[in-house]
Structure 1
Amino acid sequence: MIDYKGKVALVTGGASGIGEALAKQLSERGAHVIVADKQADLAKEVAARLPHPGLALPCDLSEPDAPAALVKDAFGWKGQLDLICANAGFGRRKKMMEEDFGADAMTLFAVNMFAPFRIAQAYGAGLAGSGARGRLMITGSENSLSLPQAVRRSRLGAYGASKHGVLIMAEWLKEELGGDLMDVHVLMPGAVYTPLISRNLPDPKDLPPDMGVIMPDRCAEIALKGLDLGLFYIPTHAHIGDDIRPRFDGVQDALTQLGLL
């Protein structure tokens, strides 16, 4: 188990949902936690409620220069930065035949896909030559791996693409680092009871059992266990493995029909 006592952790999207739960559990394990979020007032509230009062930093990660500025401020707090949970993100519902790929869609990709790797670049620059080793966990999604059965009518094409991008870019990042500077992990949550779901179902008791929704605290618990185990892929639901199967089987079938097997 990782000892977080005296360590500094930055959690983006830390004012609610998975990010808030990660901040709380990291603080419970002894970390000094920086809660970064576009919702500045809410971030302050979360930081103040942590077992070890943390620091709130307002940050709009859709701005290209924001990730580097955030990492610089995070390093400046206590002179170290041991863990970054690049968790900020949001969803978008639009049929692919109706997707305009306008400003809103570009913001989706800026926050969900590009910001974590701008953070990684700034983090790597801050660690270089310091002798310190970092740890980066990027929040992807079950949509990083497949088109999950449970969301096939949810019009999540652009969102799914952004989360697919997170996974392959993280795989390239890990490969290119070659074990230097930082450990890289990808959290891949299934359905989690975040504001995206709670807006429509305010009472968790009303959640249909077949949705398989877990609470943010449970997601954070799995995430930190994945870090403890040194896992690169950190899925949160058993069905995620089954959801990958149709893609694998489809490729295998195509290879067979093409006479390549």
Structure 2
Amino acid sequence: MPDYKGTTALVTGAASGIGEALARELAIRGASVICADRNLAGAEATANAIGPSARAIECDLSNPEAAATLIEKCWATSGRLDLICSNAGIGHRGSPVQEDMLNSDSLQALWEVNFYAGLKIAQSYARLLEHNGSNGRLLVTASENSLSVPDAVKKGKMAFYAATKHALLVALEWLRIEQQDGPLELHVLLPGAVYTPLIAKALPDAALAPAELELISAERCAQVALQGIDHGLFYIPTQAHLLEDMQPRMDEITQALAVLEIEKTF
């Protein structure tokens, strides 16, 4: 297990779930951890459970200015940021046909937190690294919904949530190209079903989860995430079914090319 001693890591969404687990795992590896969340009491609980190597900071990423302010403040107080886990996210269920997309505060917050915040963090972080002649790593939590419509959640009315996560993945793929010779190493966490407090509300007993969910604990998700970073992976999937879930899209494109009689010309 790689040693994180002497490093400083920032984790957003650290009050619970994957963010809390990431903060704990990083602390176990020796990192000083900044636990950020809009729920300050929850972030403080995480930091207190970790001990002296962790501290909490309040940050509501639905505020368009919050991401840049957070990075600048953490760098100023710590003097360094070796790793940022941009993990904060919010869920949303709704129908594209039924919901008023143009006048929805909840949708605006969804895009601000799930999509823009990750890119704003990346932008601010890359600029600070370049200015200070440093290198850093950024782990962004996307979703299995970035890649496909998993069978297990097809009835979940998650079109808008999935759209934010798909857009996030594509933007990060382009950012990866731009940062090929830059100071920022990018990693994208692609979790499937993770047993967080949000899921626990609907499923109090994890043992009763349908087998097709391949439900994992937040601790296991965090361990896979850090293992992926250790290996320098860009895509970090947490369950094997993610590959299968993408296959129907590939099959339909293959069939469409055959129907349209379009063949590769080079």
State whether TM-score is above 0.5: yes
Partner of residue 38, structure 2: 38
Deviation string, structure 1 residues 166-220 (Cα, Å, up to 9, x no partner): 1001001111112311100100000000122101122323333332110000000
In 2, are the aligned partners of 1:86 and 1:136 still within 8 Å (CA)? yes
> Secondary structure of the residue that 1:190 maps to in structure 2?
coil
- In the alignment, the residues of structure 2 paired with residue 82 and residue 49 of structure 1 have an alpha-carbon distance, to the nearest angstrom, of 22
Partner of residue 94, structure 2: 94
> Secondary structure of the residue that 2:160 maps to in structure 1?
helix
**Amino acid corresponding to residue 153 of structure 2 in structure 1:** V
Partner of residue 9, structure 1: 9
In 2, are the aligned partners of 1:5 and 1:31 still within 8 Å (CA)? yes
Q: What is the TM-score with the length of structure 1 in the denominator? A: 0.97
Partner of residue 180, structure 2: 178
- In the alignment, the residues of structure 1 paired with residue 114 and residue 52 of structure 2 have an alpha-carbon distance, to the nearest angstrom, of 29
How much is the aligned-residue C-alpha RMSD, in angstroms? 1.1
Q: Select 2:128's aligned residue among 126, 129, 134.
A: 126
Equivalent residues in 2 for 1:182-193, closer than 5 Å: 182-193=184-195
> Secondary structure of the residue that 2:14 maps to in structure 1?
coil
Matched, 1:76 2:76: yes
Quote how far apart the aligned CAs of 1:52 are.
4.6
Deviation string, structure 1 residues 94-116 (Cα, Å, up to 9, x no partner): 12211222110111010000000
**Amino acid corresponding to residue 244 of structure 2 in structure 1:** D
**Amino acid corresponding to residue 241 of structure 1 in structure 2:** L
Unaligned runs of 5+ in 2: none
Quote how far apart the aligned CAs of 1:76 are.
1.8
- In the alignment, the residues of structure 2 paired with residue 207 and residue 251 of structure 1 have an alpha-carbon distance, to the nearest angstrom, of 33
**Amino acid corresponding to residue 91 of structure 1 in structure 2:** G
Deviation string, structure 1 residues 82-138 (Cα, Å, up to 9, x no partner): 000000001111122112221101110100000000001110111113221010010
66-75 or 201-210: which moved more?
Answer: 201-210
Partner of residue 67, structure 1: 67
- In the alignment, the residues of structure 2 paired with residue 128 and residue 208 of structure 1 have an alpha-carbon distance, to the nearest angstrom, of 47
- In the alignment, the residues of structure 2 paired with residue 120 and residue 7 of structure 1 have an alpha-carbon distance, to the nearest angstrom, of 18
Change (3 A) 1:55 1:190: same
- In the alignment, the residues of structure 2 paired with residue 140 and residue 66 of structure 1 have an alpha-carbon distance, to the nearest angstrom, of 19
Quote how far apart the aligned CAs of 1:11 are.
0.4
> Secondary structure of the residue that 1:186 maps to in structure 2?
strand
Q: Select 1:197's aligned residue among 185, 196, 199.
A: 199
Quote how far apart the aligned CAs of 1:74 are.
1.1
- In the alignment, the residues of structure 2 paired with residue 22 and residue 28 of structure 1 have an alpha-carbon distance, to the nearest angstrom, of 10
Quote how far apart the aligned CAs of 1:51 are.
4.8
Q: Alignment length, in residue pairs?
A: 261
> Secondary structure of the residue that 1:205 maps to in structure 2?
helix
Q: What is the TM-score with the length of structure 2 in the denominator? A: 0.95
**Amino acid corresponding to residue 257 of structure 1 in structure 2:** V
Partner of residue 27, structure 1: 27
Partner of residue 18, structure 1: 18
